[in-house]
Amino acid sequence: LAKTTQPISMDSYEGQEVNITCSHNNIATNDYITWYQQFPSQGPRFIIQGYKTKVTNEVASLFIPADRKSSTLSLPRVSLSDTAVYYCLVGDKAILTGGGNKLTFGTGTQLKVEL
Amino acid sequence: EAQVTQNPRYLITVTGKKLTVTCSQNMNHEYMSWYRQDPGLGLRQIYYSMNVEVTDKGDVPEGYKVSRKEKRNFPLILESPSPNQTSLYFCASSLSPTAGYTFGSGTRLTVV
């Protein structure tokens, strides 16, 4: 199971782009990279998922280099409401082996956005 | 509305008194999972289920039981709760192994 490492906290200001990098040196061939957002006392919310290169949706972009040993979540023009904890997850082999969905969350990155 | 519903939202109980936290999803998802969240430790997976009658241990299964008799329900059972099980619990469901999870609103459990 690939372990992930991400910064404990980051600070930013409204309107700036925020990039949160996650290291996952032991990522397996069939693993996917997923990011979640969590507000206090709420369940995490799925943001974006990718396997390689770049994925973009209406909320964020995910950049994954060719070696897949790291990934970067990019949040364009953050606002105060983006203050939350962001988790990087690397999924277990699941589809091919039928081993289920054993996803491990770390402690995440606390992003604080100020005016 | 597509959602994962947990009950109760808050629960205070005494050591040793069996309790069940219910979880239900209305999205016909195959995969369901339970997590606990503690300060400084992040979210840790307790049990997960790949389908009806198929469950497996997560990272911290000790002291917990689950069952998956129906696709939509995945209750978490604490046969003999102890104070170290005081935590915030989340249930989640997913359509496939690599699709994003939808989480419930959480159950804050206090065992005294």
Q: With CB atoms and an 8 Å threshold, state whether A95 touches B106.
A: no
Q: With CB atoms and an 8 Å threshold, state whether A102 touches B48.
A: yes
Over its length of 112 residues, how does chain B's per-residue pLDDT go in tens digits? 879 999 999 999 999 999 999 999 999 999 999 999 998 888 888 999 988 999 999 889 999 999 999 999 999 999 999 999 999 999 999 887 667 789 999 999 999 9
Q: With CB atoms and an 8 Å threshold, state whether A101 touches B105.
A: no
> Which residues touch A67 (CB under 8 Å, ≥6 apart)?
none
Judge whether A87 is closer than 8 Å to chain B, CB to CB.
Answer: yes
Judge whether A102 is closer than 8 Å to chain B, CB to CB.
Answer: yes
What is the pLDDT at residue B97? 63
What is the pLDDT at residue B98? 63
What is the pLDDT at residue A2? 65
DSSP 8-state symbol, B101: P
Over its length of 115 residues, how does chain A's per-residue pLDDT go in tens digits? 568 899 999 999 999 999 999 999 988 888 888 899 999 889 999 899 889 999 999 999 999 999 999 999 999 999 999 999 999 988 764 433 334 456 667 779 999 999 9
Please tell me the distance from the alpha carbon of residue B40 to that of residue A26, in angstroms, as a whole number: 23
Q: With CB atoms and an 8 Å threshold, state whether A42 touches B35.
A: no
Q: With CB atoms and an 8 Å threshold, state whether B42 touches A103.
A: no
Q: With CB atoms and an 8 Å threshold, state whether A106 touches B92.
A: no
What is the pLDDT at residue A96? 34
Q: Measured between CB atoms, which of B49, B90, B108 is closest to A43?
A: B90
Strand segments (E) across B39-106: 42-51, 54-57, 65-66, 76-78, 87-94, 102-103
Chain A positions in Cβ-Cβ contact with residue B23 (cut-off 8 Å):
none
Q: Measured between CB atoms, which of A42, A101, A108 is closest to B105?
A: A42
What is the pLDDT at residue B76? 98
Q: Name the β-bridge partners of A9.
A: A110
> Which residues touch B36 (CB under 8 Å, ≥6 apart)?
B43, B44, B46, B60, B85, B87, B88, B89, B90
Q: With CB atoms and an 8 Å threshold, state whether A102 touches B56.
A: yes
Please tell me the distance from the alpha carbon of residue A56 to that of residue B94, in angstroms, as a whole number: 21
* Cβ–Cβ under 8 Å, residues B81 and B111: yes
What is the count of residue pairs from A and B with beta carbons less than 8 Å apart? Answer: 75
What is the pLDDT at residue B22? 98
Q: Measured between CB atoms, which of A32, A44, A104 is closest to B45?
A: A104
What is the pLDDT at residue A97? 37
Q: Measured between CB atoms, which of A36, A43, A102 is closest to B106?
A: A43
Strands of A53-56's sheet in order across: A18-23, A70-75, A61-64, A53-56
What is the pLDDT at residue A104? 67
Rounded alpha-carbon distances, angstroms, from residue B101 to A21, A115, B15, B37, B106: 21, 31, 31, 16, 14
Place of tokens 């032991």: A26
